[in-house]
Amino acid sequence: MKPTSKMAYRLTKSAYLQYLKCPQEFWLEVHEPLMSVQPMTLEHEHLRQQGYAVESYVKQLQRFQTNDDYFVDFQRTFQTSDLWARSDVVVADRTTGEIEIYEIKSSSSVKEEHYDDMAFQLVVAERSGVKVKATYVVTMNSEYVRDGDIDPEQLFTITDVTSAVEQKRFDTEDQIRLAFEYLKSFPAASLAEYCVDKKLDCRFLRLHFEDLPNSTVFDLVFLKHEKRRELLRDGIIDIVDIPDHFPLSDKQRTQVEIARSGAARIDGEKIASILSTFQYPIHFLDYETFAYAIPQFNGLRPFQQMVFQYSLHTIDAPGAAPRHSEFLSRGEAEPAHSVAAHLRNAMADGIGTVLVWYEAFEKGRNEEMGMMYPEFKAFFEEVNAKTFDLMKIFSEGHFIHPDFRGRTSIKKVLPVLAPDLDYNALGIAEGLSATIKWYRAATWPSLSADERETIFNDLLEYCTLDTWAMVRIYRELQKVAGISG
């Protein structure tokens, strides 16, 4: 691959932001666009539709209604011979011609990259001959709680970023120049120059490094970027090649030793001690949730995780066969309320110990549902008080396996302890797809009854596997701990 010697290229805002994040991917997208093409994923499509929905409410704001004093333009473009940018909202003073630029972001706060975004728009607009008076970022108001119809005036927060963006102007102009210079270069493929955001997910690196070891220094947990780059510059890629003298934490050194030996390290006594504290009935609980910029149901804030489904496997006594209960909202007025009512009924025979995977998530949802619905507050407080995070047995190092590759998610642990269970065989195989597909099935009138039912059935299978996976992992832990039943 060689850069084109003479190229008529216009730098867009999205390309500029890509350059700031990962220059190598930026270079690849310009010089080898076919190699950098990525299919439209379900997540990208969902985020794009969410953006359109947010913009539709922004357009209703009184601030953006054209009047005798100013003219409002949505999706206005600015361009020069080598730069191009589209601004979400431009408010132009009819007398002076000066403009205000507003960028709409489907987030709950102004982020650092938003300043880069606005500074690029400022530079392009002014180079095209327009005077920019002020710049703003429109974000979601995280304190807004829906009660009836959406109130656009309360839904958003508008932040004046004029001063911060102005301070970035000269740096932005310099970065634009450097971006064009970078396109004239031929960047060498170097793992040590990986971008922090994507690491090995960078398309440029994947193109040049196809045959990496099974376990690399990118898998080493909590390793700082400076240390990782030091290893990579020394040609050390495989985790087993990390020198004994290289400074690592105890947890990182253990991971290296496990990778070298290829053998698991299991503390059966410690695991037995933990399992002995569990009280029957033992419940295995998992939630599926939905979060959206615009709260879709009453009582919700923007981006609040709303529980729409649970799966619960219960072992009532030692040796008893697990029984299963579940609930999936079909999109009724208050899905989380229905979940709470059904779950309390499912646990009516007693709460001994509740096992989850990554307790911060489930406990957080329980606290929210207790706040939203006071009649369930005491119930969820009891659930949280009796919850144990099964992941801790792995994350705290009581059970380490080389195939975990330093990770302790259930999808890393399950293939080792219960290889016959396979998420990939399901119609829905991961949480983000579950979230998006539920939203469509519950709210899109364009879906047929058969399409809707297929999604609901896939969701039931997926969530059921999450809790059945915990049951199977628990059974394997009992074996290594020497506990029967």
> What pLDDT is attached to residue 108?
94
pLDDT of residue 333 exceeding 90: no
- pLDDT: is 193 or 485 the higher one? 193
pLDDT of residue 8 exceeding 80: no
Q: By percentage, how much of the chain surpasses pLDDT 70?
A: 97
The residue ranges of DSSP E strands in 251-392, in sequence order, are 265-266, 282-290, 306-315, 323-328, 353-356, 387-389
Cβ atoms of 368 and 452 within 8 Å: the answer is no
Tell me: cis bond preceding 281? Omega within 30 of 0 counts.
yes
Radius of gyration of the CA atoms of the chain, in A: 27
Query: Which two structure tokens, joined as six digits, stand for 459?
Result: 């969701």
Closest CA to 368 of 354, 389, 357, 383: 383
The residues, ordered by sequence, that sit 6+ positions from 239 with a Cβ below 8 Å of its Cβ are: 213, 215, 216, 217, 219, 220, 255, 256, 259
Q: How far is CA 302 from CA 50, 145, 154, 299, 362, in A?
A: 12, 8, 11, 10, 19
> What pLDDT is attached to residue 263?
95
Query: Which two structure tokens, joined as six digits, stand for 164?
Result: 């911060």
Cβ atoms of 377 and 371 within 8 Å: the answer is yes
Query: Which two structure tokens, joined as six digits, stand for 266?
Result: 């299991």
> What pLDDT is attached to residue 198?
83
| Mutual angle of helices 335-346 and 359-372, in 10-degree steps | 110
Amino acid occupying residue 28: L
pLDDT of residue 36 exceeding 70: no
CA distance 94 to 327: 57
Q: What is the mean pLDDT of residues 257-276?
A: 95
- pLDDT: is 333 or 464 the higher one? 464
Amino acid occupying residue 390: L
pLDDT of residue 147 exceeding 90: yes
Look-up of token digits 């939630």: 287
State residue 88 phi and psi, 5-degree precision: -60, -50
Closest CA to 273 of 392, 366, 421, 172: 392
> What pLDDT is attached to residue 5?
45
Cβ atoms of 125 and 133 within 8 Å: the answer is no
CA distance 148 to 294: 13
Pairing of strands 323-328, 353-356: unpaired
pLDDT of residue 6 exceeding 60: no
pLDDT confidence tier of residue 485, bands split at 50, 70 and 90: low
Q: What is the 8-class DSSP label of residue 201?
A: G
CA distance 290 to 287: 10
372-402: pLDDT as tens digits: 999 999 999 999 999 999 999 999 999 999 9
pLDDT confidence tier of residue 201, bands split at 50, 70 and 90: confident
pLDDT of residue 439 exceeding 50: yes
391-431: pLDDT as tens digits: 999 999 999 999 999 999 999 999 999 999 999 999 998 89
End-to-end CA distance of the chain: 62
Please state the pTM of the whole predicted model. 0.90
Q: What is the mean pLDDT of residues 235-257?
A: 95
Look-up of token digits 């030793």: 257
pLDDT confidence tier of residue 35, bands split at 50, 70 and 90: low
Q: What is the mean pLDDT of residues 144-169?
A: 97
Cβ atoms of 160 and 136 within 8 Å: the answer is yes
CA distance 481 to 321: 20
pLDDT confidence tier of residue 3, bands split at 50, 70 and 90: low
Rounded to the nearest integer, the mean pLDDT of the chain is: 94
CA distance 136 to 310: 41
Q: What is the mean pLDDT of residues 436-464?
A: 95
